[in-house]
Amino acid sequence: DGGITQSPKYLFRKEGQNVTLSCEQNLNHDAMYWYRQDPGQGLRLIYYSQIVNDFQKGDIAEGYSVSREKKESFPLTVTSAQKNPTAFYLCASSSFGKLFFGSGTQLSVL
């Protein structure tokens, strides 16, 4: 089945640690996105990528980094500089105006 696969579903981070969230898509979409969602809130854009080897900062990029070495993959690293990383992270791709989302990763701080 085509879609967006995020892993892991749950992730725990220790103080000062970098962690990487995986996002893979087999929809052959050029554009991919990372959003952050806090409890009871909407989604906020962290980074997006229109094509391989290119990505742009969204509204809340500080403390995060991404790479886009392959069309299918858009991993997100939450660095130690992100002081409040606990949130639900959503990856998406888009085609003709529609966003397709993965099932999300819940990141918590130990």
Partner 1 sequence: DAKTTQPTSMDCAEGRAANLPCNHSTISGNEYVYWYRQIHSQGPQYIIHGLKNNETNEMASLIITEDRKSSTLILPHATLRDTAVYYCIVRVAYSGAGSYQLTFGKGTKLSVIP
Q: Phi-psi bin for 40: left (phi > 0), alpha (psi -120 to 50), beta?
A: left
Are the C-beta atoms of 9 and 97 separated by less than 8 Å?
no
Q: Which is nearer to partner 1, 1 or 15 (CB)?
A: 1
Q: Is the peptide bond before 75 cis (omega within 30 degrees of 0)?
A: no
Quick check: 49 and 57 in contact, CB under 8 A?
Answer: no
Considering beta carbons, is residue 85 or 104 the nearer one to partner 1?
104
Q: How far apart are CA 60 and CA 35, in angstroms?
A: 9
Q: Provide the sign of the torsion angle of the four alpha carbons 36, 56, 33, 99, taken in this order.
A: positive
Q: Which of 26/41 has CB closer to partner 1? A: 41
- Taking CB under 8 A as the criterion, the residue among 71, 77, 101, 109 binding partner 1 is 101
Residue 85 binding partner 1, by CB under 8 A: no
Residues 34-73 that bind partner 1 (CB under 8 A): 35, 40-45, 48-51, 56, 58-59
Residue 28 C-beta: closest distance to partner 1, Å:
14
The reply on whether position 25 binds partner 1 by CB under 8 A is no
Is 19 or 55 the residue whose CB approaches partner 1 more closely?
Answer: 55
Asked whether position 2 contacts partner 1 by CB under 8 A, the answer is no
